[in-house]
Structure 1
Amino acid sequence: MGSSTHSEPTDLPTPPPTSPKVVVGYDLPTWRKYLILFVISWLTLVVTFSSTSMLIATPEIASDLSTTPEILDVTNAGVLVAMGLSSLIWSPLSDLFGRRKIYDVAIFFMFVPSIGAAVAPNLAAFTAMRLVGGLTGTYFMVAGQTVITDIFEPLYRGQATGFFMVGSVAGPALGPCIGGVIVTFSHWRDIYWLQAAMSGFGLVLSIIVIPSIKREVEVVHVAGAQKLSLYKTLQKFNPLGVFRQLLSPNILLADVTCGCLAVTQYGILTSVRHVINPRFNLTTPLISGIFYIAPGAGFFVGSIVGGRLSDRTVRRYIAKRNGIRLPGDRLNSGLIGLFVILPISLLLLGWGLQEGIGGLALPIVAAFWAGVGLMGTFNALNTYTAEVNPAKKAEVICTKYIVQYLFGAGSSAAIVPLIDAIGVGWSFTFLVALDFIGGGMVLLITRVWTKVPNE
């Protein structure tokens, strides 16, 4: 098979007898595909849980570590930056040594810092452990999406991506909710012991369930056949190969749209305790933590419904084009979220809180629908970035998460000062404006860069 692409095919090494069994992803039985899907989704849950579980416990952690909640918000933004950049480390390693092996190593590097954060004696040690753990973050999203494209056929990827996103969207909601329970009845350090247990469980599942899949194994064998020099090995860590994908306008626009959505997501999650508690006289982390169930339920519903709607939209356009499928078609399924669901829910949430309208019921309902709009839109964009350039799918997905988490980090650090300066109503109106900009960029992709060749 590889003789046509190498000048000296006879020099290619054959895999040693001890190599792991290689499987063709599409040929896996359905039950095995969904078991793999559960594992990769679980690990994204662990990652996102770790990035938000401390939000509800910020005052308690700040008091224990002799710092301020504002400083902890900045360190949490630093963790999000580390998460965004993590794929620049782990993706090249997976090319060199194999996705399955590096995936398990990355889980281990998430497991150990969780223990370190649990026993950290001061702010410096606590921050260092969280940053090291964050440096594994988005690799699980990138690797997970490449696994999905390797084992699920195109017409089923939207639904599979929806189930995969359940983990990444459940974490931001469950983290503060469970964190509130722990802080109320125990100690904030137990949050990180729980994260360690979750990571350890994920490592065991990964070792048992996830096989070596043919496409990624071939990449590693080719790399081994080339007998890379030290220079060429180091070149794999050159981020220009990733950032070069942003020269494609459609990829850049999709990534920036994801960034705008991340600003909204972390704007909602980071501001909850700061905004909700004083307006409704909530005095314990447990009660305010329960509020996170509303956007979390919306995240869950939006992921599942968005995935089905994404696949249905693709089928409709295939029929319309007499069998031709284009990656950008599925982006049309997210337009209702960007132009209708998100603006209405965010305006009701922000101005309802500022003007004291609707009691506690209005922000709960509005936060739920904001979650639906966010994840319904995210689903189409996530699947699009995995499909738009199959030869460079890992690099394209990597750019998405870099942009997304950099925007999320900025939101996490800035949303509370912004609310203090201009009020929650105008702050959430600003989020609506960003989402309208994202909607305009998605329209550009679907109208300009989604055409049949030679049309």
Structure 2
Amino acid sequence: MYDHASRPGKPSSKEEDAPSPDKPPEPPITRIPSVLPDAETSPAATSANNTTPASGYAVGGGEDGGDNGGANLRRASTVPSPHFALPLWRKSVIIMITSFTALSVAFASTSLFPLTSEIAGDLGTTPVVVQVTNALVLFTMGCSGFVWAPVGRLAGRKQAWIGASVVFLLCTAGTALAPRAAEEKTRLKIFVAMRILSGFEGTFFHVTGQTWLADIFEPTQRGTATGFFLLGTVFGPAFGPCISGIMVTYAAWTSILWLQCAMIGVGLVSSIFFLPEIRRPGDTERRKAATSSVLGILKEFNPSPVFKVMLLPNVILTDLTCGLLSWSQYTLLAAPRHLLNPRFHLTTPLVSGLFYIAPGIGFLLGTVVGGKFSDMTVIKWIRIRGFRLPQDRLNSGMVSFFFVIPASCLIYGWGLQYEVGGLALPIVTAFFYAGGLLMAFASVNTYCAEVLPKSRTEVIASKYFWQYTFSTAGSGTIVPMIDAIGIGPASTIGVAFVLLGGVLTFITAKFGLQMQHWAQRKGVGSP
């Protein structure tokens, strides 16, 4: 068996801690530093028979190497990010600003869900048209990385962040002004155009925010930091319908949009003053080369790098898992008014909007607890194995995938189907349903941010593409599906999706390293 703790210039653990005659020998403890961020998830794969010394530490594979797939793991010669040394208060400010900006965009994605009848009346259209528009907004949010990620590569991450904030602010204001158009047909056209254009900024904030945090937090802190960042991305979708339901009871529905403008304005000003510009080695030279010609600029907008990383089995399996979870998340958020109002004789958006408090709190707690638990899982595997692999954190979501979400979702759906338990049952089960979803999300989100450090922007963009594609399908089809087959069978379909996501995550957690070795041998997945 390999002595993982031994390395040149340092005695092995046996030489350091020889057991005394009076004390039974303790089992050896594997101690290998966690792989550095620039190589943390792309270890060089060599055959088990290759004994050439590696740069840094090597971990032998084979039968004695645990689940390393018969390959050696090597730490490449890299330099830790200088931004790891930022003071905690500065990192906390970055989390707050990025999370709040992402909250503003995520809030806009669902805030109009319970107001379809009011909006349709003002615009002279049907609620179905408004629902389809809301679904298209989710789809364009998934595509926003194809638009703004190239801008970030050309102009810089912070400049692209500020530019996207300005465009989102203007489009939201345009949506709010749509009902003031003179002609009824023009109102609807302006509303649809401005809403869809505002979606094109959406997940860019999610992607860039997670990339920022991955650049400033060490791996054993990254899950917790990502969890706090995701508070914004989950607070928005969860509490958007609740707040809009309250506001529309006392004011016009356009007041929701002006609130969104104020929120993104605060995020914009804060970003200008407090977000750092992080440049990686070679960024300046590459940017100059890309902007030296029109062809170079157009090449940066080529979406193929995002699609190429999807060729990696572990990436596409994780992307699909996020999509399946997102289906469940948005079907939970899109249907409450349709389900609760006729069953419990609720007559105003205010009362049905208050229902969203339960899943909202579940989302918030699930995000924080899930992020912390994923970090604890990483630390546990470092203690067991002596080094960490990025897929280790995926093990933290198994209880949610296979127990919490299925149990709560089935009780929620079939309880409403047979109208048992009163209003308390869907409120309580929605809380656990939402908490389980975000505990599962916490591990896969952080995994996407670190699985390919040099291509993390592309990986996260691919995740959100699939995530919001499934969100579009879920939010657009859940109400017709419930009308056709009932909420009980519809919930069962959602549980099947979550269980499938759990199986995909288990496969990635177990065989993720072998998948990367296969991709390296075949030369696929390189952006």
Q: 1:36 aligns with which of 79, 87, 94?
A: 94
- AA aligned opposite 1:133: S
Cα distance between partner residues in 2 of 1:320 and 1:224? 46
| Alignment map for 1:297-446 (pairs within 5 Å) | 297-322=361-386, 324-446=387-509
Is structure 2 residue 206 aligned with structure 1 residue 138? no
**Cα–Cα, structure 1 residues 226 and 68, in superposed 2: closer, same or farther, change >3 Å?**
closer
Is structure 2 residue 97 aligned with structure 1 residue 51? no
Q: 2:240 aligns with which of 175, 180, 184?
A: 175
**Cα–Cα, structure 1 residues 453 and 138, in superposed 2: closer, same or farther, change >3 Å?**
closer
SS in 2 for 1:57: helix
How much does 1:68 deviate? 1.6
Larger relative contact order, structure 1 or 2 (CA cutoff 8 Å, min sep 6): 1
How much does 1:27 deviate? 2.1
- AA aligned opposite 2:456: K
Counterpart position of 1:235:
299
Q: Could you give the per-residue CA deviations for residues 31-77 of structure 1, whole angstroms, max 9, x where no partner exists?
A: 01011100000011111100100011111111111112122111111
Cα distance between partner residues in 1 of 2:107 and 2:127? 19
Q: Could you give the per-residue CA deviations for residues 332-354 of structure 1, whole angstroms, max 9, x where no partner exists?
A: 00111111010001001100111
Cα distance between partner residues in 1 of 2:516 and 2:252? 60
Counterpart position of 1:15:
none
Counterpart position of 1:14:
none
Cα distance between partner residues in 2 of 1:150 and 1:370? 32
How much does 1:144 deviate? 0.3
**Conserved 8 A contact 1:332-1:446:** yes
Q: 1:447 aligns with which of 499, 505, 510?
A: 510
> Gaps spanning 5+ residues in structure 1: where?
1-22
Cα distance between partner residues in 2 of 1:159 and 1:218? 30
Counterpart position of 1:82:
140
Q: 2:324 aligns with which of 237, 242, 260?
A: 260
Counterpart position of 1:162:
227
Cα distance between partner residues in 1 of 2:467 and 2:451? 18
> Gaps spanning 5+ residues in structure 2: where?
1-80, 180-186, 518-527
Cα distance between partner residues in 1 of 2:284 and 2:297? 12
Cα distance between partner residues in 2 of 1:331 and 1:349? 26
SS in 1 for 2:252: coil
**Alignment TM-score, normalising by the size of structure 2:** 0.80
**Conserved 8 A contact 2:247-2:256:** yes
**Conserved 8 A contact 1:84-1:401:** yes
How much does 1:24 deviate? 3.8
- AA aligned opposite 2:163: V
User: Pairwise CA RMSD of aligned residues?
Assistant: 1.5
**Conserved 8 A contact 2:452-2:459:** yes
**Conserved 8 A contact 1:97-1:220:** no
**Alignment TM-score, normalising by the size of structure 1:** 0.92
Cα distance between partner residues in 2 of 1:253 and 1:361? 36
- AA aligned opposite 2:486: G
Q: 2:152 aligns with which of 94, 108, 113?
A: 94
Is structure 2 residue 302 aligned with structure 1 residue 206? no
Cα distance between partner residues in 1 of 2:392 and 2:87? 28
**Conserved 8 A contact 1:277-1:283:** yes
Q: Which moved more, 1:414-423 or 1:443-452?
A: 443-452
Is structure 2 residue 91 aligned with structure 1 residue 26? no
SS in 1 for 2:388: coil
Q: Could you give the per-residue CA deviations for residues 221-275 of structure 1, whole angstroms, max 9, x where no partner exists?
A: 4321566432222111111111011100110000000000010011010011100
**Conserved 8 A contact 2:312-2:515:** no
SS in 1 for 2:310: helix
How much does 1:365 deviate? 0.6
Is structure 2 residue 106 aligned with structure 1 residue 106? no
How much does 1:219 deviate? 1.8
Counterpart position of 2:35:
none
Is structure 2 residue 285 aligned with structure 1 residue 190? no
Cα distance between partner residues in 1 of 2:277 and 2:351? 45
How many residues align? The count is 430
How much does 1:449 deviate? 1.4
SS in 2 for 1:329: helix
**Conserved 8 A contact 1:354-1:424:** yes
**Conserved 8 A contact 2:118-2:253:** yes
SS in 2 for 1:449: helix
Cα distance between partner residues in 2 of 1:434 and 1:394? 26
**Conserved 8 A contact 2:290-2:300:** no
Identity percentage of aligned residues: 48
Cα distance between partner residues in 1 of 2:477 and 2:294? 42
Cα distance between partner residues in 2 of 1:248 and 1:185? 51
**Cα–Cα, structure 1 residues 208 and 62, in superposed 2: closer, same or farther, change >3 Å?**
same
How much does 1:220 deviate? 3.8
**Cα–Cα, structure 1 residues 452 and 117, in superposed 2: closer, same or farther, change >3 Å?**
closer
How much does 1:325 deviate? 1.1
Cα distance between partner residues in 1 of 2:508 and 2:349? 43
Q: Could you give the per-residue CA deviations for residues 180-211 of structure 1, whole angstroms, max 9, x where no partner exists?
A: 11110011010101011111111001011101
The higher radius of gyration belongs to 2
SS in 1 for 2:113: coil
- AA aligned opposite 1:311: D
